[in-house]
Structures are given as structure tokens and as C-alpha cells.
């Protein structure tokens, strides 16, 4: 009734598959130096439940740019990365109800067709900014045609 050879091969394949799965999962690092998944970013966001339900968790980068004109050069400071949250436009009322933004800021931000983003917990002096969505930003890790990442543009430097 049973073909013991087929059962043995199926069992061996299953065991090898489980072993490979364990090996891959044990090499994933979830320390603060490595952001391994969107779930890690969601958990690190200020007010994570509110952020996920009414907006999107984000990585916020603060950096300063220095531009000299003679000679023309651009300098960038070391960026500071902090967890943050971007609110969906239809959920701004949450920030208004908590008296974190007022009608003037809402009108000004809405006039520019922007949204609000914040860092820090809403209960303890968050830093709230009117932020602009840049639709021209591209994820160069993904190829729109479904293959690997697109090659860098000609003449671009690689580090």
C-alpha cells in the first residue's frame, strides 16, 4: 500500500526544508543597527497603534545642507535618524482634538496640499511638521519590469 521510498524522500525533503528555513530565520538581525522589516519600523514609531491606524510609520532623517557660492559646493551634515509618523490628510482632526495643531496651521498646510508628520510621542511635546509628499521619489531597489534593480545612470559614482 505505501511506497516507503517515496515517504522517505518526502520526509528528507521536508527536514532539509525546515533546516534551511531555520538557518535563514536565525541569520536575520533585529538589533537597532539593522532595520529588517516594516514591522520593526511600525513598532518603533511614536504612538504605534495610532500611527498604523491613521497614517504610516516612517523613518525621519534630519540633516543640514550647507551651500557655498564661491566656489559652488554643497556640504551635508551627518544625518540623524528617528522614528516618526505621517498622518493621512483625513485624520488631522486627531492632532486638532489633542490641541497639537490649530486651524491656522491646518489651513496653511492644506493650502499647500501637504500633510502632517511628527516625531516624539503625542503625549509629550512631539515635533509636528507640515510635510510635502514627493511623488517623483523612486524606489531604485525595485525594477518596474519585475527584474533586478536598474543599473546606475552613466557617469554616477558608486561607493
On whether the CB atoms of residues 127 and 118 are closer than 8 A, the answer is yes
Is the pLDDT score of 118 beyond 90? yes
Cα(57)–Cα(43) distance, rounded to whole angstroms? Answer: 9
Q: What is the DSSP letter of 1?
A: -
| Confidence at residue 10, expressed as pLDDT on a 0 to 100 scale | 76
Per-residue pLDDT band for 159 (boundaries 50, 70, 90) equals very low
Is the pLDDT score of 67 beyond 80? yes
- Enter the pTM of the model: 0.61
Q: Which residue has the cell 556640504?
A: 75
Task: Read off the pLDDT of each residue in 93-122 and give the average, rounded to a whole number.
Answer: 91
| Confidence at residue 57, expressed as pLDDT on a 0 to 100 scale | 93
Per-residue pLDDT band for 15 (boundaries 50, 70, 90) equals confident
Angle at 30 between CA 25 and CA 32, to 5 degrees: 165
Residue 142 CA neighbour count, 13 Å, CB half: 4
Q: What is the largest CA-CA distance in the chain?
A: 87
- The conformational region for residue 133 under phi > 0 = left, psi -120 to 50 = alpha, else beta, is beta
Amino acid at each position: 500500500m505505501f511506497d516507503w521510498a517515496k515517504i522517505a524522500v518526502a520526509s528528507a525533503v521536508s527536514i532539509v526544508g525546515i533546516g534551511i528555513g531555520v538557518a535563514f530565520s536565525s541569520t536575520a538581525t533585529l538589533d537597532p543597527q539593522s532595520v529588517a522589516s516594516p514591522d520593526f519600523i511600525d513598532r518603533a514609531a511614536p504612538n504605534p497603534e495610532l500611527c498604523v491606524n491613521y497614517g504610516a510609520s516612517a523613518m525621519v532623517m534630519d540633516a543640514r545642507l550647507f551651500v557655498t557660492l564661491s566656489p559652488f559646493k554643497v556640504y551635508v551634515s551627518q544625518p540623524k535618524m528617528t522614528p516618526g509618523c505621517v498622518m493621512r490628510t483625513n485624520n488631522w482632526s486627531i492632532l486638532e482634538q489633542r490641541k497639537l495643531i490649530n486651524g491656522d496651521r491646518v489651513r496653511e498646510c492644506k493650502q499647500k496640499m501637504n500633510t502632517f508628520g511628527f516625531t516624539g510621542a503625542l503625549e509629550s511635546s512631539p515635533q509636528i511638521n507640515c510635510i510635502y509628499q514627493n511623488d517623483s521619489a523612486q524606489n531604485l531597489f525595485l525594477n518596474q519590469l519585475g527584474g533586478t534593480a536598474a543599473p546606475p545612470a552613466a557617469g554616477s559614482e558608486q561607493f
